[in-house]
Structure 1
């Protein structure tokens, strides 16, 4: 009399299991997909791109998202961004000014896809722009450079003559002049006006930095992306000091890299993806600065910074954080 109960039970079980699976899938069981459009120089720059990719990989591990990086394509970046959107990535994140035009263009074609740009601004009803106010961090880097300078001569090496590099230079010069108003600041760019290739030319940066050291500069502040690796090699060869930007690069050459003014791209990328997973990502602008932790200063090398300099630097940092030092804002274009 009970011979049909087991098959009926199994049939009911499998039908219920299929129904539950269908409901879960419909409720968002699939992993969100996030694409990261790299800036010029790509992975391996030990700075801008690598830091952003750290945030991407952390999001994959901690938030369970599916991720992919896309190398920068100089002449066809809009097609590159369009490909990511066509492949169904719910969020497409671009890095740097060279991705701005492509993100702005493609975002209008895919209104149901979310786009973001980190360290620059793009336009669009479905675009989030994350920018950084580096001023306080660059001021501190300049103050440290002046405190460490024995020849009263320091240098600024930028990747190219672009807005963000001029802005970093502005803060650095304020810091130098705050400590030593009569200090000489030599400024060099790897590439010219709006030429982003300067961020991926380490050989040229090496030659420029080597000449700066030969001309009596005793510390270089480098804001040159992947090209900074060449400047670090020049510092090592000349046995002179260098302060870098982007990520903490002391490990590359601890004998010459005093510290790094960090721009925490990893945190910015992770923040965007976390907001996506919470369905809280809104279009518009987000600005990160020194106070919010978006900008920082890596610990100073105890081997390269005398205790007296470290003490003077920390006093300046305390005055800046308390508001006793008021900085002039950057208003250039």
Structure 2
């Protein structure tokens, strides 16, 4: 997968930002799904927010869009989730795609784990992939995973280096295990640079409530309280709710940190200048790489982990706001890659 990853980077050098504006290693068994020679008929099921969320879902969409440009004849059916929908809707959505002959089917987000656990065994010749979910397993399921704690460590380090008040914040969509990895890495990064920095942490909903990723109004209120209390950098890991954090940062004349995408290129132009940097999670690369593997019959089941070493997570430089600290961040990045700095996922 490393060869395709490098090739994808060359192809995607400018395409990712354009796509958004417009709207670990390999492991596991070889999939038992029967290879098919016809053009791929891809089913893509989004998490809450869907295409156009300027973050998580758009990253997956960009990978699929690039695959459509490069894999001859590929067709895609995209289906979005609705805020507050029952879990049974996700099961029905995945079942309908599999029954209609879509193969592979890519599920964006851990909330689809129960759906894949039920549907994948019933369609053993269909290939499935799920983003950010390690627990659901099967001979025809690939888990696309990211060392989010490593990228978030660098965000914490950047926040501590740039903060003038010694007070920073973290706003998460919900305290699920996935989002907690970001928080844990962020806290480690802050404390590595300056143990005296205060860290304010808030979540928008409970651990099983996905509406926290679709409440920019609530995120704005939470971030405003942090800024008024003294924080001058806030890292948001809240999907479409992150737009509210950016608005609060703009009003406070403070910094915000984006996630998943280079949000200084994808967010509302009115707030891009307050996005100090973003923790880039290359969901686009993982999705493209997976589809390329399906197309050339090399896809594997089980976990595929994208970390700093493999370029699966990184940070953005748009706007030049962290140019002054980039050498220190690069040093930390290399220390993590070579094991001299250990980052715990939780």
Q: TM-score range by the shorter chain?
A: 0.7 to 0.9
CA RMSD of aligned residues (A): 1.7
1:197-251 Cα distance to aligned partner (Å, 9 max, x none): 1111111111111111111110001111111011111111111101111111012
What does 1:49-64 correspond to in 2, within 5 Å? 49-64=57-72
Q: What TM-score comes out, normalization by structure 2 length?
A: 0.83
* CA separation of 1:310 and 1:30: change in aligned 2, threshold 3 A: closer
Q: Greater relative contact order (Cα 8 A, min sep 6): structure 1 or 2?
A: 2
CA distance in 1, matches of 2:334, 2:228: 35
Is 1:134–1:290's contact at 8 Å kept on the other side of the alignment?
no
Is 2:68–2:75's contact at 8 Å kept on the other side of the alignment?
yes
Residue in structure 2 matched with residue 179 of structure 1 by the alignment = 193
**Post-superposition offset of 1:125:** 2.3
Is 2:141–2:302's contact at 8 Å kept on the other side of the alignment?
yes
Residue 255 of structure 2: which of 233, 237, 241 is its match?
241
Structure 2's unaligned 5+ residue stretches are: 1-34
Is 1:52–1:269's contact at 8 Å kept on the other side of the alignment?
yes
Greater displacement, 163-172 / 114-123: 114-123
CA distance in 2, matches of 1:318, 1:84: 42
Runs of 4+ in 1 over 6 A off after TM superposition: none
Rg larger in structure: 1
**Post-superposition offset of 1:30:** 3.5
Structure 1's unaligned 5+ residue stretches are: 1-26
1:293 aligns with 2:311: yes
Count of residue correspondences: 302
**Post-superposition offset of 1:289:** 0.7
**Post-superposition offset of 1:259:** 0.8
Residue 231 of structure 2: which of 211, 217, 235 is its match?
217
Residue 134 of structure 1: which of 130, 133, 148 is its match?
148
Q: What TM-score comes out, normalization by structure 1 length?
A: 0.86
CA distance in 2, matches of 1:44, 1:328: 32
CA distance in 2, matches of 1:274, 1:314: 30
CA distance in 1, matches of 2:256, 2:241: 13
CA distance in 1, matches of 2:335, 2:303: 29
**Post-superposition offset of 1:28:** 6.4
1:119-159 Cα distance to aligned partner (Å, 9 max, x none): 11322221111111122211111000000111100001111
